[in-house]
Amino acid sequence: MQPRYPQSYGSFQDRWNSLTTTQKIFVGIAGLILLYAFLGGVGIFGRLMDPGYLVAVATIIFVAFPVHEFAHAAMAVKLGDQTPEYQGRYTLNPLVHIDPMGAVLILFTGFGWAKPVQWNPRNVSIDPKVASILVSLAGPISNLVLAVIAMILWSSFLPQIDFVRRFIDFFVFINVLLFVFNLIPIPPLDGSHVLFALLPDDLYQFRVILGQYGMLLLLVIIFAGSQIILAPTVTIIEFLSGIFL
């Protein structure tokens, strides 16, 4: 009888070989981020002992991520493209949106992703470039709206106890962080689709280059230029707090 491990190894190799280059880069970056987290770069172990943080992360995975992807899908459907419906993504059901690696990252690093919604700009009833901007912005804006709703609930309805306060703080921070992060104009983030829609068509080569090196640029931003993300995140939270808290 053949041992079981060669078959398992082959299966893993098959799955790995089936990934695109971009997906392999995604996996590599995710692994580096997790390693960075475990080495103490983001103080993760302290957060993992905080019930408020754990509940906030669970809410992000099962509420915020589905809302984000549904917002993309809903905008595409509203503009005339039924692709998200055909693919089963026009729903708030978290099971169809969750990406395991993105969910793990949100736990250990504070940001992550869900499965991206696909849509076809050739099916929309308006200028495809305008549609690309609207569909792309719908997701990040939904995160900002969720942060505002959480602030309103905290200030008006929720019990003023420490656990709830910490849950709201983490939930608001992660949602605003996702809003800022997704607007970075680097592929494959939502902001890149907005940038590409605004660029002249004769800059096609620039799009190709940015697409090829986008993941590396994101890696640099995450590790070396985190303030590019954190500074506007804190500024937005302070602004919203002054209005809703």
Q: What is the pLDDT of residues 23-82, one digit of tens each?
A: 566 666 666 565 555 555 445 556 778 889 999 999 999 999 999 999 999 999 999 999
Range in 23-27, 150-154, 199-203, 211-215 with the lowest mean pLDDT: 23-27
59-96 in b/e form (b: 16+ CB < 10 A) is bbbbebbbbbbbbbbbbbbebebebbeeeebbbeebeb
**Amino acid 153: pLDDT:** 94
Which residues, including other chains, have CB under 8 Å from residue 158's CB and lie 6 or more apart? Answer: 164, 168
Residue 224 in this model has a pLDDT that exceeds 80: no
Which residue among 61, 69, 84, 222 is the active-site one? 69
**Distance (Å, rounded) from C-alpha 245 to C-alpha 233?**
17
Note every long-range contact of 48-54, with CB atoms under 8 Å and residues 24 or more positions apart, other chains counting: 48/107, 50/166, 50/170, 51/163, 51/166, 52/162, 52/163, 52/164, 52/165, 52/166, 52/167, 52/169, 52/170, 53/166, 53/167, 53/170
- In order, the DSSP letters of 7-47 are HHHHHHHHHHHHS-HHHHHHHHHHHHHHHHHHTTTT-HHHH
**Amino acid 230: pLDDT:** 87
Answer yes or no: are the C-beta atoms of 237 and 176 closer than 8 Å: yes
Residue 236 in this model has a pLDDT that exceeds 90: yes
Answer yes or no: are the C-beta atoms of 180 and 236 closer than 8 Å: yes
10 Å CB burial of residue 181 (0-12, 13-18, 19+) is buried
Question: Which tens digits make up the pLDDT trace of 101-156?
Answer: 888 888 877 777 899 999 999 999 999 999 999 999 999 999 999 999 999 999 98
3-state secondary structure of 225: coil
Answer yes or no: are the C-beta atoms of 112 and 175 closer than 8 Å: no
Q: Which residue has tokens 């669970």?
A: 58
**Distance (Å, rounded) from C-alpha 157 to C-alpha 170?**
18
Residue 69 annotated as catalytic: yes
Q: How far apart are the first and last CA of the chain?
A: 67
The pTM (predicted TM-score) of the whole model is: 0.82
pLDDT mean over 14-31: 59
Residues comprising the chain, all counted: 245
**Amino acid 4: pLDDT:** 37
Q: Does residue 110 or residue 217 have the better pLDDT?
A: 217
DSSP state of 152: H
